[in-house]
Structure formats: C-alpha cells, structure tokens
Structure 1
Amino acid sequence: MSRTLLVCLTLLLCPSAILSAADLPQFQASDWPWWRGLHRNGVASASQNPPVKWSATENVIWKSAVPGRGYGSPTVYNNQVFLASADTEQETQFVLCYDRQTGKKLWKTDVFKGGLSTKGNKKSTHASSTVACDGERVFINFINNGAAYTTALSLDGKQLWQTKITDYIIHQGYGSSPAIYGPLVIVSADNKGGGAIAGLNRTDGKIVWKNERPKTPNYPSPIILNVAGKEQLLMTGCNLVTGMNPLTGKILWEIDGATTECVTSTVSNGELILTSGGYPKNHMSAVKADGSGEVVWENSTRVYVPSMLVKDDYIYSVTDNGVAICWDIKTGKERWKGRLGGTFSSSPVLVGTRIYVTNEAGETYIFRANPDKFVMISENKLGTEVFATPTIVDSRIFMRVTEEVDGKRQEMLYCLGSK
C-alpha cells in the first residue's frame, strides 16, 4: 500500500462518513470548541472586549487549581471548560471539566493509568494536546505505552470509546490536537517509527480512513481551512506540505518542503497557506494550495513553535525568541519588527485589532494588528510559567498558568474579565 493514502474499507461500509462540510456541529460565538478556536486560525470574535489589564488580583473572575501538568489549552463549550492533564507521580493521564461561570471542578476522568514514557524534551508534558468538543462528546489524544490513542468522553465524563492510531516513538514529545470535521474526528501522530493521520467516526471511534506518514518526528495538529475554493485538511512537516480531502483522506496535492520538524498550525488568506519549521533549519514559506504547489516566497525566520495569524492579507507572528513581525502575505515583504521579550511557546490570539500573546514566564503582551507600525497596548504578568495558549471567548480570557504554592509547582486555570 502507498505511503500517501490508505483509505479504509470502512469508508465504503459507512455511508454516514460521506457527508459535507455543512454537517459540521453548530456552535455559538461564545464557544471555543477546539485548538485555535471555531475557525481553527487563532482568531476570536471581533465583537467581544476582553480586558487589556490584569494581575493575580485585578480582573480575575475566578481561578481553580489544576492537578498534574499539561500544556493543552482550555476548550470552552456551553457552560463547561475542558482541560487535559497528567500526573507523573500517579502515572495518570486525564481530562478535567470545570464550570464556566464559577470555576468549580465538575469532574475528572482518568483515561490512562500507567504507561507513561520517561523520554521527551524537558518542555514537553504527557498532556500537551487540546481537547476537542463536538457538542455531544469531547476527544483527546494521548501517547501511552508506546502508541498514540484517541479517546472520546461524554460531556459528563464517561468514556465512550478509545482507538489506537499508530505506534509512537517519543522524540521531543507529543502535542497534536484532534480536529472535528463533519462526522469525523481527525488525528495525527507523526513520529520516527512511521506515523499516521486518520479520520475516525465521532460516534464509535472506528477508523474511516488512514494515511501512513514518513518515519520522521513532527508535531503539528491537523488543520482544516477553506483555501483555493475548497475545504482542505492541511499538514506540514516530514519534509512535505500536503493538502487532503478531510472526509476521505485523499491527497489533493503534495510538495517537498517545510523542513522535517514543524510545530505551528498553518494559516491562510484563502489562496496561500503558511508553513514554518525549525529543524533542521529555520524556514517559512507561502504556498499556493490550488494544486500547483507553487512556493510564492520563503525566508529563514524562526517561527517554530508559536503559530501565526492572518488578517487582511498580512501575517502577524511572534518568533520563539520574542520578536513580533508583520509581513505582507502575498509578497513576503517585512512590514515591521517589534521586540517583546522572553521565549515563546504559546501562540497569539487575535481579537478585533488586538493581538494577545504570552511568553513562557507568564508575561502577556498585547499589541495592534496594524500593518503600518508596531503599536504596544499593554503588558501583564500572571504566574511563573505559561506554555498553553490562552482561550479568548465571550470577553473572557481562560489562561492555564503555573504558580508557586507553598513552595511547590501548581497549575491554575484563570478566568479573566472586566468586572
């Protein structure tokens, strides 16, 4: 069988899997149901007005202790907030649910007990994926006992199904998050042993389609965007840039490029998609997704971990070492640079014309999405360590931060908002 496509027989046996984009779950503007938000691009509703100033006491609606350690972002649906976490002492990986209004912990479900690896980058965790929600279930990816698994839970925390995606050799770690599309939950697990990207039936976890991937480590989440006139499932890394049909896994086009290891989730202006990688070289490019695979421009900027934003044909990014940059997406021409500070693993979020981004020390910078010049709005400090991207929805900011409590590391979930 070819590396590029392994469409399972279940596709033929499961007519419910062959649906259109119109069958996507319906959400409200007040929901943030998966990684990078409703539109999968880090752009929040422009009509909201989250605070631009906060501290451990200012504009705090509530905060709650989070057991264990994880770098996945908060997922918000209806009146619930979901997080994945892991406890290395107890050797557990689990999903947590909090009340959106009060921060009260509603439930905690252990997905795995035992089976945790001791390998990985010191910045990685056993729970770096972000939960996805389809309005009826929540889905999470974990690496356990040398394999990648996707698990579905009910909204009250009961396990519904669990599917092994592929064997997995940990190199740096794992943080790919599930993506919901029509009847499917789409998951990826690139690794040195030869990984996979697969579409699973949301209701029972059966694999509808599955594509083999090269034997190289790689870390992006599968992202579905409307580009070149159609919905495409986009993957970068493994020295490839690939566009697929998200319902069938069929490869629409594929080119060499984007370096071996990537982390960021790609973005688009509807014509071009952005790739960025950091190993074995720093690399950024704009690629046509119309089937030609033409590389329009490229440079050697290191935007390796934080994902980018696109607004009005301009790219806004923050490099790993703390420099904000704006480019023209069509030409690659640099518009401006602005020094922030610190090291960044969290990705920026756009709200109207404001960009929020937090460094690993818990310092959040807010600056303008303005192509003409760099304009800083404010700086805020919360906690001692932040790797998770904040979730900004309904004029509230949900932040996962680490604090020192009685001399010990303690993760907290904050809900920030103007009082």
Structure 2
Amino acid sequence: MTRLITATAVTILVAGAHGAEWPHWRGPEMNGVAPADAAAPTTWSESENILWRQPLPGPAGSTPVVAGGRIFLTTPDGAELLLMALDAQSGEPLWRRTVTTGDAHFRGDEGNLASASPTTDGRHVVAVMGDGMMACYTVDGEPVWRLQLGDRLTPLDIQFGYASSPVLHGGKVLVQWQHGDGDPSTEEARVAAFDLSTGETLWDVPRDTDAMKECEHSYASPIVAGHGDDAVLVTHGADTTIAYDPHNGQELWRVGNVNPPGNYHPTLRFVASPAANDGLVVAPTAKKGPVTAVTLGGRGDLAGGEHQAWRIDRGTPDVPSPLVADGLVYLLGEDGALTCLDAATGERLYDRRTENDRHRASPLLVGERLYLASRGGVVTVVRAGRRFEVLAKNDLGEAISASPVVVDGVLYLRTFDALYAIADR
C-alpha cells in the first residue's frame, strides 16, 4: 500500500474522550482485553479509515500507552533512548525526553534497549530502558525523578537487556528485576516498589528460585491480578510464577515445577507474560513447554494443589502472551497458530493457523474480535468464541512486534517505521 497520509492531514477527532485510556502495555486490566464498550474496525485501508500515520525515529517492540488524549511510547533514535508523547488527535509529536543513551541496536529492531513499554496513571508516565535506567515524567514532559535499577537493587547481568515493563498500582511503581550470572546460589533477582511521586524505594525483596543458567533471565512483564484488597502482583520468570502482596512485597503464592531438574532446559527463559481474568491466572513458559492455570486466592505452592485449575504439558506461546476472556483462553504461537482452550478445564477446543509468519505481538480482544499482528505486518482479525473463524486480514506492509492498542474506537498499530491510527469514522 502507498503511504501518503500524514498526521497533519487529519481533522477528525481521535481519542477525543479523555477518560478513555490504555495505561499499560496490555490495557486497563493488563490482560489484552478492551473495555466492554470498546470498538475497533475489522478492515482498513489508506483511502477509507487510516486516520494518520506518524513516522517514528526508530524501531522497537514496545507498545504505546494512551491517557488524556496523549500517546506515550519508548523508542530509540540512534544512541538516544527516548520517551515520546504524541497528540492522539493528530499524531503530532508533543515532546521527547532522553531517558538514557546506549547501544540502541543492541539486538536489532525488536530487541533493542527500548523494548519495555511505558505506563501511566494519567498524571505521570514511567519508562524503563534496557540498561535499567527508569524515569518518571509528568504527562507534560516535566521530569519528576530518575533512578538506575542496577544501583538501587542489584547490578544488571542479563543477556539481551532488561525488557520487563513497569506496573503502576496504588501510587507505586512495581518492577520485577530478574537476571543473574547463572549461579542459583547468588541472589540477584528482586521485586521492588517505588513511590510514584518521589522515586523512593518503598520495599525491595529477593525473588528466590532454583533457576540456573540462562533461565534466571526473564523478559516477561509483571501484572496485577484481582482488584482492591485481593489484588496481587504476579511476577514471571526463573522457572516460576510468583505472586506478591503489592503493599509490602510479601510472597503469597508460587507455581513452579515447569523445568524439572532431571531434564533441565538451560535456556527456558520466559518472554511471554502471564494473563489474568475472572479470577484465573494463566502462566505460559517457553520453547513450546507447559502452560499452567491457577485460581486466585491460594497461598503457598499452588502447583498440583486445589488452586491449580489445569496444566497442559506442551503448547505454550513463546513470545505472545495469553489472553483470557469469557470462559476461554487463547494462546497465540510464534508461528501464528491460534489455540483456544476452555478456561475451566484446559480442554483444547481448536488449534488453527492464522498468518503463516512469526508473531511477536500479544493478542488484543475488542468485543467479539481478536486482533493478531504478525511480524510481517499482517493483522488477522478472528471471531472470538469456541469456533474458529477468520473475519479479515489487513496488510500494513511494515514489520510489527508491538501489541495492538484500542482507545475510543481508534485502533493504534505501532510498526517499526511508524504509528498508525485507524477508526471507522
């Protein structure tokens, strides 16, 4: 497709309802499920409903977040690692701040040091880069605080750069800091909370597992599962999913036994993050390994206990994170195979190929439609439900590894070259 649309050509209102937000890389509930009243187009083209295309200074796999009519994203620009703000109505850049500098092409496009997504509460926006530098700004771009996680916690030792997105919850910035030298006797991994207003460390606890070698390194992101007093911070990596009390860092439960010592896989590093909905947490692993589902409310080691809803021994997505909604679990394989499971039992309902290409982005659910973005730029729209049906395929012709975002009827797609806004208006 030709690409003649510019941000300045758009006069239609985009994300006009400032109450509509996408504050985390997987949305308001951190699980890829859009609010019930959300809508998004099924098909798009330059001549019909692509509202604008804003070129970006560099490629990245980080996902934009949206609040208050602004879009925030991390991106490299040469050696600069930036947090940028764009106007959601026009796509025009509002401000850019250099969080840190470094080898922006550390591992090429999607694996560079701007891989973690920012997060916002509508007043602040927090970004962390692959060297562990984390910074907080107001939504107007004014600096609030800046800190190096490697200095506050433990010196960073990770093969492909830090890529876990931070989480905002209850006035705290929550992070999982999972890395290490491969020796399980040294305690490099931490989980920590920082005051959103000041950057002060509120709590900092070790994250103990028996993981060794490269399995100590996690590129997954934590999530908050549940609501109110029942909310837990779910961290993921080092052969184990562990939940903490976000108020004080107390460990509440864990699920391990996915990389047994007798047949230990030394590179079972986690990239896909857990997903939670309706009281169920679904934890993937890697290398087509197991997926475990547990119900919230348990304590201690949940593996094999009453709070383990089910486990499948093979078939995990390696990079895209799971999606749980309406009694179903969707697993998008890196090869584009979409698996649908019954959320209560783990029964496999179907396993069908979508686009025959690598898939790095996590799925998005809007109403009854699943949006699956391939690395080559094809977005497949699948009807949600127990029966597989492809509704449309849309080819942007630009590489994608960032997850799709929807706010106020506008679908945002971040490619390696640009950010697109698409809506039926």
In 2, the alpha carbon distance for the partners of 1:156 and 1:228 equals 29
Contact kept, 8 Å, 2:105 with 2:112, in 1: the verdict is: no
Match of residue 157 from structure 1: 141
* Contact 1:42/1:309 (8 A) holds in 2: yes
Find the counterpart in structure 2 of residue 369 from structure 1. Answer: 384
Whether the 8 Å contact between 1:109 and 1:158 is mirrored in structure 2 is: no
The one-letter amino acid paired with 2:198 is D
Contact 1:218-1:261 at 8 Å conserved across structures = yes
C-alpha displacement at 1:117, in angstroms? 7.4
Match of residue 413 from structure 1: 419
Residues 72 and 337 of structure 1, relative CA distance in 2, 3 Å threshold: same
| Pair 1:78 & 2:72 matched | no
**Structure 2: which 5+ residue stretches go unaligned?**
1-16, 182-187, 260-267
Distance of 1:394 and 1:192 partners within structure 2: 42
Of 46, 60, 75, the match for 2:36:
46
Distance change >3 Å, CA 95–CA 229, structure 1 → 2: closer
Paired residues of 1:227 and 1:271 also in contact (CA < 8 A): no
**Is 178-187 or 209-218 further displaced after alignment?**
209-218
| Residue identity matched to 2:292 | S
Question: Judging changes above 3 Å, is the alpha-carbon distance between structure 1 residues 117 and 195 closer, same or farther for their aligned structure 2 residues?
Answer: farther
Give the CA RMSD over aligned residues: 2.1
Of 162, 179, 187 in structure 1, the residue corresponding to residue 167 of structure 2 is: 179
| Corresponding residue number in structure 2 for 1:296 | 309
Please say if residues 104 and 114 of structure 2, whose CA atoms lie closer than 8 Å, have aligned partners that are also in contact. Answer: no
Alignment match of 1:137 (pick from 103, 124, 138): 124
Do the aligned partners of residues 118 and 369 (structure 1) sit closer, same or farther apart at CA in structure 2, a change above 3 Å counting? closer
Alpha-carbon separation, structure 2, partners of 1:306 and 1:197: 23
CA contact (8 A) 2:178 2:190 kept: yes
| Aligned partner (choices 182, 188, 192) of residue 176 of structure 2 | 188
Paired positions, count:
377
Counterpart among 196, 201, 209 of residue 203 in structure 2: 209
Deviation at 1:277, TM superposition (A): 1.1
**Structure 1 residue 60 corresponds to structure 2 residue 50:** yes
Q: Which runs of 5+ in 1 are unaligned?
A: 1-26, 403-410
Deviation (angstroms), 1:255: 3.6
The structure in which a higher percent of residues are strand is: 1
> What amino acid does structure 2 have at the position aligned with 1:274?
V
**Residue of structure 2 equivalent to 1:276:** 284
Matches within 5 A, 1:216-235: 216-226=216-226, 230-235=230-235
Conservation of the 8 A alpha-carbon contact between 1:358 and 1:389: yes
CA distance in 2 between counterparts of 1:228 and 1:323 reads: 36
Identity %: 27
Are the equivalent residues in 1 in contact too, given 2:62–2:116 (CA < 8 A)? Answer: yes
Which deviations, in whole Å up to 9, do the C-alpha atoms of 1:289-321 show, x marking residues without a partner?
412513332221031211111112210121111
* Secondary structure of the structure 1 residue equivalent to 2:276: coil
Q: For the structure 1 residues 228 and 45, does the alpha-carbon distance in structure 2 shift closer, same or farther, using more than 3 Å as the test?
A: closer
Question: Structure 2 counterpart of 1:242, which letter?
Answer: I
Counterpart of 1:8 in structure 2 is none
Map 1:242-391 → 2, pairs under 5 A: 242-259=242-259, 260-279=268-287, 282-289=289-296, 290-291=298-299, 293=302, 294=305, 295-299=308-312, 300-341=314-355, 342-371=357-386, 373-391=387-405
Query: For residue 56 of structure 2, what is the amino acid of its counterpart?
Result: V
Partners of 1:227 and 1:415 lie apart in 2 by: 31
2:361 and 2:372 in contact (8 A); partners too: yes
Match of 1:11 in 2: none
Aligned to 1:33: 23
* Residues in 2 aligned to 1:383 and 1:153: alpha-carbon distance in whole angstroms: 34
Report the TM-score, using the length of structure 1 for normalisation: 0.85
Contact 2:59–2:109, Cα closer than 8 Å, also in 1: no
Shift of 1:228: 12
The whole-number CA distance in structure 1 between the counterparts of 2:317 and 2:109 is 20
1:197 is aligned to: 191
Deviation of 1:56 after TM superposition, in Å, equals: 4.0
Q: Secondary structure at the match of 1:160?
A: strand
Using structure 2 for the length normalisation, give the TM-score. Answer: 0.84
- Residue 230 of structure 1: CA displacement? 1.4
